[in-house]
Amino acid sequence: MTLSLEDLADSPHFKEHAGLADPGRLHPARLPGTTPDELAAAVEDPELPTAERLAAGHVLGLLGDPRIPSPTSGAGPATRHVPGGRIRIGLPADEAGYVTNAWAHVGVEESWILKECPEHTVEIADFWIATYPVTNGEYRAFLADTGLEERPTTWYLGAYPWDRSNHPVAGVRPEHADAYAAWLTERTGHPWRLPAEAEWEHAAKGPEGLPYPWPGGFDPEAANTRESGVHTTTPVGAFPAGRSPYGVHDMGGNVEEFTADEYAPYPDGPYVADHLVQSMGSYRIARGGSFARFGDLTRTRRRHGAFPGPLYPVGFRLATSEQPS
């Protein structure tokens, strides 16, 4: 008997994705001679060469990373406290031309930078932001528990990348990032959410208002961007020179991160109908840059978003207004 197209669509044989891989079958307890805690320390050791930090992180991806508690255990992510106050956000309009010229070699246009203008003051309450972006392993737990069928676009053929369990998840939609935060809130009993755009910027640039999450100018050793030469995601925390003033990792490079806010002009600033608006109309603001893009996106004031397509795989990190236990 020949199956109809409708029968084929319902057949398990033609289901697009296989079941999610079981971490218990894939992560050994340890490797001889090296403890996970020693490897975790090595990943974030700025004295080690990049290759050694990455190797330590990749092994932890196989072992299971002690820096990242399982969401199903009822534990939330590691966090850093960010003091609030009256915070200056954005870029003075007279600096837009300078920034554009500084990054003209990678095709930056002034209209993109004008989205950051003008500099203005916002009131921000104290908050806590996750030390690392949400990882593939954490997101896998969310998918398995909720039954959400849509997989991250960076998961080849929809398969959980068990060897990259401690890499940031990327290629998700903002509504699924919101759903993850709501799920973890229910799981832990603690209120988790995505950071507001102004909170994200404040956590990245610190009290001195740094142009990048690290002191000085752009540094390819401090961020996993195109300039780093890695050209794929890396284990979280593997670029410790890029740690923000509040001790937050990967706020420049690795993967861009959704915030809680849709794009809107700053007070008295221009509405910039750039390629993102032309492609999508409204869009969720993303921050921080990624392995797939140039270092201009690691600027702490840079406002961006996720274009449809493989060049813009965006992830996220969590925040909370209440001190985690």
29: left (phi > 0), else alpha (psi -120 to 50), else beta? alpha
Alpha carbon distance 319, 256 (integer Å): 16
Would the pLDDT of 239 be above 50? yes
Is 188 part of a structural domain of the chain?
A: yes
Q: Which residues pair with 124 in a beta bridge?
A: 85
Alpha carbon distance 241, 215 (integer Å): 9
Determine what percent of the chain is predicted with pLDDT higher than 70.
91
Rounded to two decimals, what is the model's pTM? 0.92
For the chain, the domain total comes to 1
Residue 63 lies in domain: 8-320
Would the pLDDT of 132 be above 60? yes
Calculate the dihedral angle through the C-alpha atoms of 34, 37, 43, 49, rounding to the nearest 10 degrees.
Answer: -40
Is 1 part of a structural domain of the chain?
A: no
Is 194 part of a structural domain of the chain?
A: yes
Question: Tens of pLDDT along 262-314?
Answer: 999 999 999 999 888 988 889 999 999 999 999 999 999 999 999 877 778 89
Average pLDDT, the chain: 92
What are the distances in angstroms from CA 148 to CA 17, 20, 30, 133, 144? 12, 11, 31, 20, 8
CATH code at 31?
3.90.1580.10
Is 203 part of a structural domain of the chain?
A: yes
**What pLDDT does residue 200 have?**
98
Is 325 part of a structural domain of the chain?
A: no
What are the distances in angstroms from CA 152 to CA 13, 34, 142, 173, 224? 21, 32, 12, 8, 20
Lowest mean per-residue pLDDT among 17-26, 103-112, 238-247: 17-26
- Whether residue 150 contacts residue 179, with contact meaning beta carbons closer than 8 Å, is answered with no
Helix, coil or strand: residue 123: strand
Is 2 part of a structural domain of the chain?
A: no
Q: Which residues pair with 89 in a beta bridge?
A: 120
Q: Which of 46-50, 62-66, 87-91 is predicted most confidently?
A: 87-91
What are the two backbone dihedrals, phi and then psi, of residue 126, each rounded to the nearest 5 degrees?
A: -55, 145
Is 170 part of a structural domain of the chain?
A: yes
**What pLDDT does residue 13 have?**
42
Q: How many CB atoms lie within 10 A of CB 168?
A: 31
Is 176 part of a structural domain of the chain?
A: yes
Higher pLDDT, 17 or 302: 302
Calculate the dihedral angle through the C-alpha atoms of 129, 130, 131, 134, rounding to the nearest 10 degrees.
Answer: -150
**What pLDDT does residue 83 have?**
98
